Amino acid sequence: MKIIEALRARVPWQRPPQVAVLRLEGVIAPRLRRGAISLSSHAAAIEKAFALKGLAAVALVVNSPGGTPVQAALLFRRIRQLAAEKAVPVFAFAEDVAASGGYWLLLAGDEIYSEEASILGSIGVISASFGFAEMIGRLGIDRRVHTAGDKKSLLDPFLPEQEGDVERLALLQRNIHEIFQEEVKRRRAGKIDAADESLFSGEILTGRMAVAHGLADGIGELRGVMRARYGEKVRLRPVTPERRRWPRLPRLPLFGGQSLFPVTDLIDWLEARLLWARFGL
C-alpha cells in the first residue's frame, strides 16, 4: 500500500473535467408530435446529464424556432431545479436559431453564448390560424356548435371571426407575454436594460446584437468555450434522449390501406416548416 501511495504522490492522477452536452433541437411541442422537444421527450436525458460522475458543468445546445410556452417553461424549470440540487453550472449555446420559446430554453443557462449570425430573441407571443367560414358555405355545409358557457368556443375556424373572441385571445397573449418578460428580466438581471421595451417587442436579433443588448454573454461555440473554461483536457459527454417507439396505427381504406403516419407526419412537417421559415431557414 505504501508503494502505491508513493507512486500516486509522484504521478498525480486526476480525472479530466466532464461536461454533459444536451441538445435541444426542433420545435417545442407536446411529445405526441414526432421529433418535437418536450419535457416528456427529454426528462430522462436531462436527469442523466446531471447524474454523470465528475460533472463540472452541463452544456445546452439549442436550435429551436420556438413552440408552446408551457413546454418551454417546463424544460427550463426542470433544468434549473437540477442545477440547483447538484450545484452545477449550466452553459447555453445558440446555434442557427434560439428564438421565442427557443430563447426561453437558453435562459436555463447561467451563461449564454451564440455565433455572431445566430438568430435570438423574438420575445413575444404569436397565434396563427385559418378561417374557412366562406368555403364551407359555398360547399353547402352547415356548421353547428352548441356550448354550455358563452365563452366555451374561441375563434372557431369554420365560423366568422368575432371581435369578442379576438379580444379574449389578445388578453391571453398579453398574459403569456408578461410571464415570458418576467423570466427574461429575472434571469438576465443586471445584464439587460429592463426598461428597454424594444427587447420585448418580438424583434429578432443576431448573436452580435444579442450580446450588445445583454441577451447573451458572448460569442462562442461549445468546444471553444468549454476548453477555455475547463482546460484542453475537458471531456464533452453527449447525452441524447431515447427515441420513442410509435405504435402501429390501423390501416384505413380511406388512405388506400396505408398507415395514418404519412398524413400526420406531413401535417407536423408543414407546421414545423412554417416556424423555421419565419427565420429564413
| List of domains in the chain | 15-122+203-248 (3.90.226.10), 125-191 (no CATH)
pLDDT for 164: 72
* Interstrand relation of 119-121 and 204-206 (parallel, antiparallel or unpaired): antiparallel
Run of H or E residues at 97: strand 90-99
Separation between Cα atoms, residue 135 and residue 132, nearest integer Å: 5
pLDDT for 154: 62
pLDDT for 249: 46
pLDDT for 244: 57
Of residues 69, 273, 93, the one with CA closest to residue 177: 69
What DSSP string describes 199-253? GGSS-EEEHHHHHHTTSSSEE--HHHHHHHHH-TT-EEEEE-PPPPPPPPPPP-G
pLDDT values of the chain reduced to their tens digit, one per residue, 281 residues: 555 455 445 445 578 999 999 999 999 988 656 678 999 999 999 999 999 999 999 999 999 998 899 999 999 999 999 999 999 999 999 999 999 999 999 999 999 999 999 999 988 777 666 666 667 667 777 777 776 766 666 656 666 777 776 777 778 878 888 989 999 999 999 999 988 888 888 899 999 999 999 999 999 999 999 999 999 999 999 999 876 554 444 444 444 444 444 545 555 555 555 555 555 55
